[in-house]
Structure formats: structure tokens, C-alpha cells
Structure 1
Amino acid sequence: MLFHCIREVLEAKPGMFPKHEELLPRAHFGKVFAVWPEELGYGSFDMQAQPYSSIKRLQDRRNDTIHKNSALTSLAMAKSALYSAVEGARGIALHFRGTDGFPYDRVLEKYSLHVQPWFTDVAFIDRRT
């Protein structure tokens, strides 16, 4: 959702953000998430608030898994990750597009997600156990 919204902004204002247009194909999620919204005039995400703090923790956990620092998970982590990711995508869409900006509301009405703990609140599995 983040890159889709960023692409929409850049396409709506061609040439206004040439650095971002050039960097987008190789941009890293963490940098785009932390810095680009404000640079593009949308204000930064409040990284201390949900869902943004959970998005950050999800990104960190994904990187740990990819780089084999940790791949252990539990059902509680998986449910929390799904819930946090969906709510994070909603938060990003609303941030860039406004109140009707999340395109998956109709799907979620039909296939509702049960509220889960935020990913920042879920305990990770320790390798030693």
C-alpha cells in the first residue's frame, strides 16, 4: 500500500519530486516509510502510535527472518501480523488518500478480521526455548 500511494503521488505531480521518482524503483521500505511522506508534503507517520509502530516492528521482523536472524513464529504472532498489516495498510491509505482511501473495506466487510493484539504487543519466541 505504501509504494502504491507513493507512486500515485508522484504520478499526480510529475517532475515535482525528481529525486523520489528516480529512487522509487530501488527504494527501501524503511526509508520510504520513515521519511518520504513528509518530503512529499503529507506529514510523517507517528511512529509511536498504532498502526505505524506495528508496521515498523513487522518490517524489522521480516528483515530478521530474511537474514536468518530469526524465523521462529507462533500462531499468535501470525494472527497479530495479519491484523497489524491490514490495519497498517488502512492507516497508510487514509494518510495519503483520506477517508475513502482504503480500497479493501468491502472485502473486509465480507471476510472480517478478528481484532488481535498489535504486533508491537506480541511476544516473540526465544530461540533458547
Structure 2
Amino acid sequence: MSFIPLKHLINNLSSAPIPYFRSILINELPASQAIKQSTLKGKNKFQFNLGNIRFNSSKVQYAYILEGLDKTWNTGSEHNINYQNLRPGNYTFKFKVKLPSSDWSNELSYSIQIRP
């Protein structure tokens, strides 16, 4: 039998969750398929399904921003984020996660270029 020192458990509980993209859809296609098309037709719809690696994710907060459109970070518990009818231009979607007792995680990002 082995024991984990309480100090290590407390440090682990206060560490930020690890963010990841569960899925990214572009015009309702997985991003890997959509980027193979020479031109994107439709409403320039982007769907980001955000996730985090944490045992108890019910209290996780998300913060996200679409640089090139949003002026400030959006925060809350929502992890399905949608944008559509984006004008031509360059955008970067960024997000991070945290627990009530942790700092914000490192940011993850996904760059988008919409051509005219």
C-alpha cells in the first residue's frame, strides 16, 4: 500500500484543467474535411466544442474570444460555441479553462481565414 501526500493532492486540486478541442465543425463538416474543399460555400458557420481534462468538470469555467470579431473575452460554463456569417478576413479563436480554485489554463487557439 502506498500513500499520496496531502500536499500533492491539494496542489493537484488547485491546478488548472487542461483544455482541448472536442471537435471543430466548419459549415457542419469536420474541420479536416472542410479545409480540403477549395472554397467554402454556405454561411461561414464555425462550431467549436470545447473540452477539458479534469475528473470533475461540472465547475469548470470557460473563457473564449474570436479575435477579429469579439472585443472582450466571453466567460461562462458553455462549451459549445458557434459563429456564423463571418465576413472575409483573418480570425483566431482562443479559449482557456479554470476551476474556482485554479488559475486560468494556457490558451488553445485555432486560426481561420475566410476569403472573399
Q: TM exceeds 0.5?
A: no
Q: What TM-score does the superposition give when structure 2 sets the normalisation length?
A: 0.27
Q: Which has the larger radius of gyration?
A: 2
Give the number of the structure whose residues are more often strand, by fraction: 2
Give the number of the structure whose residues are more often helix, by fraction: 1
